Amino acid sequence: MAFIRPFEPKDTEDCKFICRATLPPTLAASPGGYRMAPYLWTLQFTHLSPETCFVLDDGTGKVVGYIIGTPDVFKFAADYPRYISEVLQSEQGLADVPVPKQLDKLESFLIPDPNSSPDEENKKIVNEQCMAQNAYKVEWLVLDGVEGKRELVEKYRAMLHIDLLEPVQGQGWGRKMIERFVEAVREEGKKEGVDIGKGIQLGVAGENTKVVKFYEKVGFRVYPGGEKEGNVWMVRDL
């Protein structure tokens, strides 16, 4: 029988698979985006904030879902150089995520497809350089961005990502995992040097807005500004 438990290092490969299996269409269609995705939205949380990372175990040790995040995004950012040196600059990390050519100016996330046909002149593809830049520069990844982003993360300093494989969706596990995460964030917030602010924030990809209603049912609300980057920002007060 499936159950929720704390993340363990042995779960890393399963979590990478889940991240890739649940990507929105644009990223899933990009070989580079597919390869790099766990390094932007999964591994830094399990590496730097394991105390607020939980997995759904199918009962055999196989992970079929996760909820990961950090109680304090600014403490997380201060610790990020360790993620770069220990994960991104490991042999596997260097093979999966190319070192960005420059970190002075963030490139566009989507760029024109050079291989598109004349009738696909507006076709866009994921810019792998942009993804590598985000992986290496935590400010671009979680702190800065369009107008309002810095205000959001200063108010709601905890953040999360949750992904479940399709066979275990719609069974109530998402709600249970979020409550487990909320409980962990509240406990971490009692510790010296950890500031959770007003609560938790998350981002919903513009290609996946169908999940907004689910988050609203578990206590989140839409926070204005995400539409400026083509996404939806949501927060939950604690």
> What pLDDT digit, counting tens, does each position of 27-61 carry?
999 999 999 999 999 999 999 999 999 999 999 99
Q: What's the mean pLDDT when you consider all of the chain? A: 94
Q: What is the dihedral of CA 147, 153, 159, 162, to 10 degrees?
A: -10
User: What is the rounded distance in angstroms from the CA atom of residue 88 to the CA atom of residue 1?
Assistant: 35
Q: What per-residue confidence (pLDDT) applies to 124?
A: 81
| Contact predicate 132/97, CB 8 Å | yes
Question: Which positions ≥6 away from 82 have C-beta within 8 Å?
Answer: 47, 48
List, run by run, the mean pLDDT of 10-residue segments along the chain (238 residues).
97 98 92 96 98 98 98 98 98 97 94 71 84 97 93 97 96 97 97 97 89 96 92 96
Q: What per-residue confidence (pLDDT) applies to 208?
A: 84
User: What is the rounded distance in angstroms from the CA atom of residue 123 to the CA atom of residue 135?
Assistant: 25
Q: What per-residue confidence (pLDDT) applies to 9?
A: 97
Question: Which positions ≥6 away from 25 have C-beta within 8 Å?
Answer: 207
Tallying the residues shown for the chain, one arrives at: 238
Query: How does pLDDT run across 205-218, given as a tens digit for each residue?
Result: 888 888 999 999 99
Q: What per-residue confidence (pLDDT) applies to 114?
A: 73
User: What is the rounded distance in angstroms from the CA atom of residue 88 to the CA atom of residue 34?
Assistant: 16
Q: What per-residue confidence (pLDDT) applies to 209?
A: 87
Give the rounded distance of the alpha carbon of 61 from its chain centre.
23
User: What is the rounded distance in angstroms from the CA atom of residue 134 to the CA atom of residue 40?
Assistant: 7
User: What is the rounded distance in angstroms from the CA atom of residue 179 to the CA atom of residue 219?
Assistant: 10
